[in-house]
Amino acid sequence: MENPQLALAEMWRVCRKGVALGLLNRYSLLHILKQNSPGYKGARWDTPATIHHWLQNLTPTPDTTIRSAVWIPLDSNISRWLEPVIPTHLKYGGFLAISLMK
């Protein structure tokens, strides 16, 4: 999408209660490992700061929650053990889940 800020503004304008977004996180181990792999070719890698920039002009101002998941993008016993205990409010997982509520 060329202009995600414009797209988000339109989603916010037409929604009744809220908007949910799922984005790939540039500040993550997933980005380091996969940014140049064929499966992620052309993918957007955003940051929490970029998301906050997109939200600046939305009216009414959304009640925003940003959480993160997929900390260790490897299928292993260690990652299955660690993933559930890492706090989701830290913004360094590979996946950013954003909730915007009116």
Q: Measure CA 92 to chain center.
A: 10
Encode pLDDT of 47-102 as tens digits: 999 999 999 999 999 999 999 998 888 888 888 888 888 888 889 999 999 999 99
- pTM (two decimals): 0.87
pLDDT at 41: 92
| Residue whose tokens read 């998301």 | 51
- Separation CA 71–CA 61 (nearest Å): 30
pLDDT at 77: 85
- Sign, Cα dihedral of 18, 1, 52, 89: positive
pLDDT score of 14? 97
Beta-bridge mates of residue 96: 23, 68
| Res 3: pLDDT | 93
Q: What is the pLDDT of residues 7-56, one digit of tens each?
A: 999 999 999 999 999 999 999 999 999 999 999 999 999 999 999 999 99
Nearest-5° Cα angle at 19, 15 to 24: 145
